[in-house]
Amino acid sequence: MFIYRSVSTIACCLLLAATLLLPSCGKKGDPTLKSYEKPAPPSHLSAIHRESEIIIFWEFPRDREQAIQGFWLMKSTGGADFKKIVIPDNSVRSFTDSDFEPGTKYRYKIVSLNLKGIASNDSYIIEVHPVTVPPSPDNLRFRIMEDSVLLEWHGAGEGTLFNIYRSSIKGTYGLQPLNDKSITGNIFKDYINLRNPVYYVIRGIRGGHERNEGPPSEEIMIHPADIVPAAPSGLRAVVSGEQVFLVWDEVPGIWVTGYRVYREAGTDGYRLIGETATPAFTDREPPVIKRAYRVTALGPVSEGPPAEIRDVVFVPYR
């Protein structure tokens, strides 16, 4: 009788302990099961053929990086024979493939790997058909226009299109061109940066919807000091009483900031007597018999060449 009661008591205790532990075990099990789930696949897989490289890039959410160990990029020259390229870094979003031949078609797809090594579903497959790229454009130059900068260059063979690259750092350019669509001609208009130097290169491209880019042109720099206004035209003077009124035609250019007026001061040459934002100025100093003036326009940094008017005659009242 004593043994029966002991066994019953032990059984009840075990049953109670199991009941109490059951919710706790469930909570610990969720993360374990979740770690075996497939991760999300990378998206927006795309490629650029540039010179001797095929650059593959993709997207993956930054806030999910801690849940994966890296990626498998897979490459095929046709059919289902995909070769695996291991990318053991969850922060990488591009891969440069130098193992290819122009004229051969290649297919790529990519998966992500979770911390248990379980692969996601495949991304969609992209096809890349690299062709022989055009030579670099030459004779890249620029002209400052009234409201823009105009780039001009010589082409690189019939049927060649162009991509424009701009940077604020010498020699450093991204993969995304400045233009939305490939340029068919040999000119491109851009806005003027009035504060900092800007650098440009141009690449020729061939092919259909793919970007088969050749080597870059020589780099050019446009500095705010290069934005020099023309000399004012139509400078004329009117003497009235003891004042000289100067007027001239407005110098075109949204980047013209104003004008400087100089007056000849005998053997000392010309002396600055004032600045104005409009194409007019009044010299209120009583004139002598004759005077000479120079007027210049001001750019972001530099002063343009002068317009000059001489022999402004003062006839005193009698």
| Whole-number pLDDT of residue 237 | 93
> Which residue would you say has higher pLDDT here, 80 or 258?
258
Last residue of a domain, one of 175, 196, 226: 226
Last residue of a domain, one of 128, 159, 175: 128
Last residue of a domain, one of 226, 255, 274: 226
Question: Under a CB-based contact definition with an 8 Å cutoff, are residues 130 and 150 in contact?
Answer: no
**Mean pLDDT taken over the chain:** 87
Question: Under a CB-based contact definition with an 8 Å cutoff, are residues 312 and 293 in contact?
Answer: yes
Backbone angles phi, psi at 224, to 5 degrees: -55, -30
**Per-residue model confidence as pLDDT tens digits over 116-158:** 999 999 999 999 999 989 999 999 999 999 989 999 999 777 7
Residue 296 has which token pair?
């210049």
**Per-residue model confidence as pLDDT tens digits over 242-255:** 889 999 999 999 99
Confidence of residue 19 (pLDDT cuts 50, 70, 90): very low
Confidence of residue 4 (pLDDT cuts 50, 70, 90): very low
Tell me the pTM: 0.74
Q: How many domains does the chain have?
A: 3
Q: State which residues form the domain around 106.
A: 43-128
What's the CATH number where 90 sits? 2.60.40.10
**Per-residue model confidence as pLDDT tens digits over 81-95:** 899 999 999 999 999
> Does 16 reside within a domain?
no
Question: Under a CB-based contact definition with an 8 Å cutoff, are residues 178 and 166 in contact?
Answer: yes
> Which residue would you say has higher pLDDT here, 279 or 288?
279
Residue 226 has which token pair?
């290069």
* Residue 22 pLDDT > 60: no
> Does 17 reside within a domain?
no
153 and 114, same domain (yes or no): no
**Per-residue model confidence as pLDDT tens digits over 266-282:** 778 899 999 999 999 99
| Whole-number pLDDT of residue 208 | 62
